[in-house]
Amino acid sequence: MLKIENLQASIDDKSILKGLNLEVKAGEVHAIMGPNGAGKSTLANIIAGKEDYEVTNGTIELNGEDINELSPEERAHNGVFLSFQYPIEIPGVSVTNFIKTAINETRKARGLEDMPAKDMLKMIREKSELLEIDRKFLSRSLNEGFSGGEKKRNEIFQMAMLEPKLAILDETDSGLDIDALRIVANGVNKLKSKDNAVIVITHYQRLLEYIIPDFVHVLYDGKIVKTGDASLALELEEKGYDWIKKELV
Amino acid sequence: MELKEKILSSYVAFENGININSDIHEIRTEALENFEKLGFPTKKLEAWKYTSLNTILKNDYSLFLNKDASVDLADVKKYFIHDIDSYKIVFIDGKYSSFLSATTHDAIDVCLMSVAFTKPKYKVVIENYFNKVAKQDNLTSLNTAFATEGAYIHIPRNVELEKPIQIINFTTGSEAATMVQPRNLIVVEENAHVQIIERHQSLTSNAVLSNVVTEVFADRYATVDYYKIQNDEENACLVDNTFIDQKSNSVVSMHTFSFGGNITRNNLNFYQNGEHIDSILKGITIIEGKQHVDHHTLVHHIEPNCESHQDYKGIFDERSTGVFNGKIIVNKEAQKTNAYQQNNNVLISDKATINAKPQLEIFANDVKCSHGCTIGQLDSDALFYMQQRGIPMKEGKALLMYAFANTVLESVKIPEVKSRITKLIANKLGVNIGFDL
């Protein structure tokens, strides 16, 4: 589904990704871990198409198609979803209206009619139940005055509504208490299928107790330096990153 | 002949039509002398540095329209907030239109200045309030000199008016260029409550210059919610001079929505003559083309323990220009004043301009005054967030601007006004509202 080869990228002439390779197949869950400043969020933003970064080398393919020239919205229309570490507040636009706009713009881009209101309501009902979201919450302005946990849960709600092919969760666990973490993880697990894939970016192993990854990658200094199964996350939790740094020397 | 000369020489003709043996007329003639001395404002005056009236003063305005113009309700209905029950004071080319109005003298007075000026029963109110808070500056004096017609509103003690009052001034453009000078007086007695919506609307593309003066008196514990909707034709200019006198424990809010017109100048002045007063000044400006909107606000904190809250947002596209000059004066006696001022602007085009100037003159030492002013482009992180959710850049920008302006609407107390303004904003910004807002 996603194939990244020798990706090199920089921001303001500062090199951040230095030859990164990653392949994610449909049905898989990948975790990307690593110390602060390794380039984890940069990778997420580059896949989603943020224009602040300059890709200087390498390719990103989604389902066999090079997406490097596509705008963020075109990537979204092709099924890429990024759950933001710091979701944006939009006063005056309710959660419901925002997600309706997002869904219908995506449908428009795919040559489909607007989703009938009845179907939309049904879907909102189902997905909000899945994520144990109070209905009142949906009529509030998007992310305005939301707690950190509410913002993250709202991100996963939007993901559930948009049904992406590739979901990237950028530190979705930060700011979540243990109950919210369980609900969010449960939601992600229920949305998982053989046709979609998930990349979980996290500092901690905690989330990976609920969302079991097929692969765990260690991102360090702009490259993936180690790949293993779920047990690697446990090892990192226990020993930190220093032993990997030493291995590299 | 220059406009000033034309105005001065027309005064004798003006006097033919009115009662010149009255106290009011003495006030008028004094004002005329004052205008003769001061003339029209020029860019040499600090207060007019960024707003030039030069081009519009070149028009050959008709000052007194003799023809009685009429308009069809169907053509102008859209300019009313028509989905609410309200009082209406409507003028066409400066003349009262009984056909479009709904006034009352039943316990309250929602009527006309021409009536208040001439009927004995209003004499005391006129003596006590007319021209008492208005500044004696150039354009206010000009208005005072010719003050004959406008809205007269008098709400007695303890009356909480349920229906809002709409004041609408239409100009038909029957002449190539029209100048009108409405004069409004609003007296709200102790513990009374009133909501007012004001609009100036040109009905043609001919030049219009409206020089309006409104005096508002809010007595103790009174509440006044005032909304000005400025969404005029591209050849219509408005100079709005509003003076508000507040007594202890009164709350007055003014929302100014400036979405169109050629040159719009708002001189909004609050004077806090008492304690525990709250003054709220809010504005949304969204303009494009060569439009110009200038907000000059003054809040004068005279006594202790009062608050003022200002929040002005502006979105400027193409070659439009904006001015925000927010002056706060805190007298030495006005301890424990809380004065807030916020002015945020977004320039969409490289050619748009905003001149923003907060002006704080604080003479008391135990006060909280804050002001913030920003001029910027749209937040690129927020835009990326929208795009990531599949919303194209153009729609995302519109939605962001909509959200940016929207915070000002939270304090609008009439739901129908709020929804009308919301729709106007959405239309102006090209937000595709395929949903209920």
| Predicted ipTM of the assembly | 0.95
Residue B66 above 80 pLDDT? no
Structural contact between residues B50 and B321, judged by C-beta atoms closer than 8 angstroms: yes
**Residue B432 confidence class, pLDDT cut points 50, 70, 90:** low
Query: In chain A, which residues have their Cβ closer than 8 Å to the Cβ of B385?
Result: 84, 87-88
State the nearest Cα–Cα gap between A123 and chain B, in angstroms.
Answer: 16
| Residue B65 covered by a domain | yes
Tell me, what amino acid is at B376? G
pTM of the model: 0.87
Residue length of chain A = 249
| Residue B69 covered by a domain | yes
What pLDDT does B433 receive?
Answer: 55
What pLDDT does B68 receive?
Answer: 74
CB proximity under 8 Å: B 17-56 to A: none
**pLDDT average, residue stretch A77-98:** 92
Instruction: List, for residues B114-154, the tens digit of each pLDDT value.
Output: 999 999 999 999 999 999 999 999 999 999 999 999 999 99
| Interchain pair A101, B382: CB under 8 A | no
What pLDDT does B437 receive?
Answer: 40
| Residue B363 covered by a domain | no
Query: Among positive and negative, which fits the CA dihedral B415, B419, B422, B428?
Result: negative
What pLDDT does B78 receive?
Answer: 92
**pLDDT average, residue stretch B246-271:** 97
Query: In chain A, which residues have their Cβ closer than 8 Å to the Cβ of B426?
Result: none
Query: Among positive and negative, which fits the CA dihedral A117, A123, A124, A126?
Result: positive
What pLDDT does A248 receive?
Answer: 80
**pLDDT average, residue stretch B40-56:** 95
Question: Domain limits at A84?
Answer: 2-248
Query: In chain A, which residues have their Cβ closer than 8 Å to the Cβ of B406?
Result: 91-93
Domain end, chosen from B251, B273, B295, is at B273
**pLDDT average, residue stretch B260-267:** 96
**pLDDT average, residue stretch A44-55:** 95
| Interchain pair A103, B390: CB under 8 A | yes
Query: Higher pLDDT residue, A228 or B65?
Result: A228
With tokens 């973490």, the residue in question is: A181
CB proximity under 8 Å: A 149-178 to B: 158, 162
**Cα-based angle B204, B209, B215 (whole degrees, multiple of 5):** 120
Put simply, whether A85 touches B (Cβ < 8 Å) is no
With tokens 């004499």, the residue in question is: B123
Domain end, chosen from B238, B273, B308, is at B273
Residue B313 above 80 pLDDT? yes
| Residue B323 covered by a domain | no
- Overall number of domains in chain B: 2
Q: Which residues are CB-contacts of B40 (< 8 A; sequence separation ≥ 6)?
A: B3, B4, B53, B57, B138, B139
pLDDT > 90: percent of chain B: 86
Report d(CA B238, CA B219) in Å as an integer: 28
Question: Domain limits at B425?
Answer: 378-437
SS3 assignment, position B314: strand
As given in the structure block, the two tokens for residue B296 are 């000059």
Structural contact between residues A9 and A17, judged by C-beta atoms closer than 8 angstroms: yes
**Residue A135 confidence class, pLDDT cut points 50, 70, 90:** confident
| Interchain pair A88, B381: CB under 8 A | yes
| Interchain pair B390, A48: CB under 8 A | no
Structural contact between residues B343 and B358, judged by C-beta atoms closer than 8 angstroms: yes
- SS in 3 state form for chain A? CEEEEEEEEEECCEEEEEEEEEEECCCCEEEEECCCCCCHHHHHHHHHCCCCCEEEEEEEEECCEECCCCCHHHHHHCCEEEECCCCCCEEEEEHHHHHHHHHHHHHHHCCCCCCCHHHHHHHHHHHHHHCCCCHHHHCCEECCCCCHHHHHHHHHHHHHHHCCCEEEEECCCCCCCHHHHHHHHHHHHHHCCCCCEEEEECCCCHHHHCCCCCEEEEEECCEEEEEECHHHHHHHHHHCCHHHHHHHC
- Overall number of domains in chain A: 1
Put simply, whether A92 touches B (Cβ < 8 Å) is yes
Instruction: List, for residues B89-120, the tens digit of each pLDDT value.
Output: 999 999 999 999 999 998 899 999 999 999 99
Residue A102 above 70 pLDDT? yes
Task: Please report, to the nearest 10 degrees, the dihedral formed by the alpha carbons of residues A50, A56, A57, A63 taken in order.
Answer: 20
Taking every pair of Cα atoms in chain A, the longest distance, rounded to a whole number of angstroms, is 60
| Interchain pair A87, B385: CB under 8 A | yes
